[in-house]
A and B are shown apart, each in its own frame.
Chain A
Amino acid sequence: MTGGLDFNVIRDNLLYFFIGRYPHGPLGGVGLTFYLAVVSLVLSFIGGLILGLLSISHNRVVKWVSLTFINAVRGMPLLMVIFWMYFLWPGLMGRPMPESQTVILALTFFTSAYMSQIVRAGIEGIPKGQTEAAISTGLAPWQAMFYIVLPQGLRNMIPSFVNQFVSMIKDTSLAFIVGVDELTHIATQVNNRTLVFPTEIFLFIAVVYFILCYAFTELSRWMEKRLAWRKAI
């Protein structure tokens, strides 16, 4: 082929792009990207919530430790966090860890740190009177947080969460640096093997990433509507 694009390379490797060597080997491609993203998403949601709550704790030590962790992680490139996990974690734990778990852990640490500050801002955005009203009826401060402040705050946090998660879906591509068979890694493999179709291959995975991110954005928009309560008129 001279000129023009030849997408046969995509068609011939389609299954490989989507699931890697599965079921004859481990899951790869889009499947693994999706897996990395969903697991990291769930974990960093929980991690962000916990870190966010700790970072506004009245206990100074708890607050200081969590803020130090948050600022340290936020001040590091994600790639560095992945390398840290990849090279240092097995040494610390005394046993090797599968690469995909390394990446999940790194993404979780990194995204939790950012999420925690969204959580903090969301909580601090709820008027103080809400907490006062709740504790005045005898609810303990944690109950006021759990039943009154968080449900209102979380809803306001949804747009920022979505931002964070969309960028996390894209960040899973960095996993290719430690040899995890996710979409980008598969793409470089196919590219190295075929040599002459880089445009087609990277155009294709760009579209796949776009679809994943767009679908997630739409899903969250639907969720936001469902969670809506009647706002002030």
Chain B
Amino acid sequence: MIRFEGVHKWFGKLHVLNNVNLQVKQGEVVVVCGPSGSGKSTLIRTINELEPINEGRLIVDGMDLGGRGTDINKLRAEIGFVFQQFNLYPHLSVLKNITLAPIKIRRLDRKEAAQQAMALLERVGLAEKRDAYPSQLSGGQQQRVAIARALAMKPKIMLFDEPTSALDPEMIGEVLAVMKDLAESGMTMMVVTHEMGFAREVSHRIVFIDHGIILEEANPAEFFRNPKHERAQQFLRQVLSPMH
């Protein structure tokens, strides 16, 4: 579904992605973790070309991102993206946030789009908020709407860029629950997160990245029991018991 082949990216002189090779299969849930500034957000943002790569090949859903015939808008419609800062449209109601792209891109009529949006709002537990504006919602609610907005395009892949990092602790659970439900439904997911509980419980594979290099790739049980790389051990110690 997603294949990185020798991918490099620089921001000026900073080498943010250094020879990344990675594959994500259909239905797989992969968690990407690493210290801040490690390149994990950049990694996930290259998949829908919010950040273009400088070198190597990146193939998503059978399409080559650097390729000439690739229609990036079309590809993005197949990939849901959830941001750390939610990025809901503040001038539109919850319902319109969700129906905009299906109406403009999938050419659904308003009624159809609204029905589908309501079903998604039910799923994330926010049906009663259809006419609210984003500023009237809590962070957790906003993020759940953002997930519904991404799902409204019926994407083949869902990408999450630190979806709970901007949330108050008591709201993290509600967002993770929606993501877990999504993972169990068989969605192909790539998630950048520090939520190690989610990683352990829901993911199939964990990718540890630092200084733009993938240092470790393992299934969760192995990663938590027996991290091989020294920096991964250090990272886990800090994340799991921050006081020490």
Q: A-side interface residues toward B, CB under 8 Å?
A: 127, 129-130, 132-140, 143, 147-148, 151-152, 155, 229-233
- Residues in chain B near residue A140, CB distance under 8 A: 73
Known: A229-B90, A230-B136. A136 touches B81 (CB 8 A): yes
With CB as the reference atom, state the residue of chain B lying closest to A133: B87
- Residues in chain A near residue B146, CB distance under 8 A: 133
With CB as the reference atom, state the residue of chain A lying closest to B72: A135
Which of these, A129, A151, A155, contacts B87 with CB under 8 Å?
A129
Among A135, A137, A139, which residue has the most Cβ atoms of chain B within 10 A?
A: A137
User: With A and B bound together, what is the CA distance between A138 and B88 in angstroms?
Assistant: 15
- Residues in chain A near residue B85, CB distance under 8 A: 129
User: With A and B bound together, what is the CA distance between A43 and B168 in angstroms?
Assistant: 49
Asked if B91 and A151 make an inter-chain contact with CB atoms under 8 angstroms apart, the answer reads yes
Which of these, B83, B100, B149, contacts A147 with CB under 8 Å?
B100
User: With A and B bound together, what is the CA distance between A230 and B105 in angstroms?
Assistant: 27
Asked if B104 and A139 make an inter-chain contact with CB atoms under 8 angstroms apart, the answer reads yes
- Residues in chain A near residue B81, CB distance under 8 A: 132-133, 136
- Residues in chain A near residue B79, CB distance under 8 A: 136
B209 at interface, CB cutoff 8 A: no
- Residues in chain A near residue B48, CB distance under 8 A: 136
With CB as the reference atom, state the residue of chain A lying closest to B105: A138
Asked if A132 and B74 make an inter-chain contact with CB atoms under 8 angstroms apart, the answer reads no
B94: min CB distance to chain A, Å: 12
B135 at interface, CB cutoff 8 A: yes
Asked if B91 and A229 make an inter-chain contact with CB atoms under 8 angstroms apart, the answer reads yes
B77 at interface, CB cutoff 8 A: yes
Known: A137-B105, A229-B133. A130 touches B87 (CB 8 A): yes
- Residues in chain A near residue B156, CB distance under 8 A: none
Which of these, A136, A143, A152, A232, contacts B135 with CB under 8 Å?
A232
Q: Give the bracket for the number of chain B residues in contact with chain A.
A: 20 to 34
- Residues in chain A near residue B90, CB distance under 8 A: 152, 229, 231-232
- Residues in chain B near residue A135, CB distance under 8 A: 50, 73, 76
**How many A-B residue pairs lie within 8 Å, measured between CB atoms?**
74
Which B residues from 163 to 177 make CB contacts under 8 A with A?
A: none
With CB as the reference atom, state the residue of chain B lying closest to A152: B91
With CB as the reference atom, state the residue of chain A lying closest to B45: A132
B153 at interface, CB cutoff 8 A: yes
A-B contacts, 17 of them at CB < 8 A, read: A129-B85, A129-B87, A134-B89, A135-B73, A136-B48, A136-B79, A137-B101, A137-B153, A138-B105, A138-B153, A139-B100, A148-B89, A151-B91, A229-B90, A230-B136, A232-B90, A233-B135
Which B residues from 131 to 159 make CB contacts under 8 A with A?
A: 133, 135-136, 146, 149-150, 152-153
User: With A and B bound together, what is the CA distance between A143 and B152 in angstroms?
Assistant: 18
With CB as the reference atom, state the residue of chain B lying closest to A227: B91
User: With A and B bound together, what is the CA distance between A138 and B149 in angstroms?
Assistant: 12
User: With A and B bound together, what is the CA distance between A130 and B88 in angstroms?
Assistant: 7
User: With A and B bound together, what is the CA distance between A135 and B74 in angstroms?
Assistant: 10
16 further A-B contacts with Cβ under 8 Å, apart from A132-B83, A232-B135, are A129-B85, A132-B81, A135-B73, A137-B105, A137-B150, A137-B153, A138-B78, A138-B153, A139-B73, A140-B73, A148-B89, A152-B89, A229-B91, A229-B133, A230-B135, A231-B90
User: With A and B bound together, what is the CA distance between A133 and B148 in angstroms?
Assistant: 13
Asked if B83 and A230 make an inter-chain contact with CB atoms under 8 angstroms apart, the answer reads no
With CB as the reference atom, state the residue of chain A lying closest to B89: A148
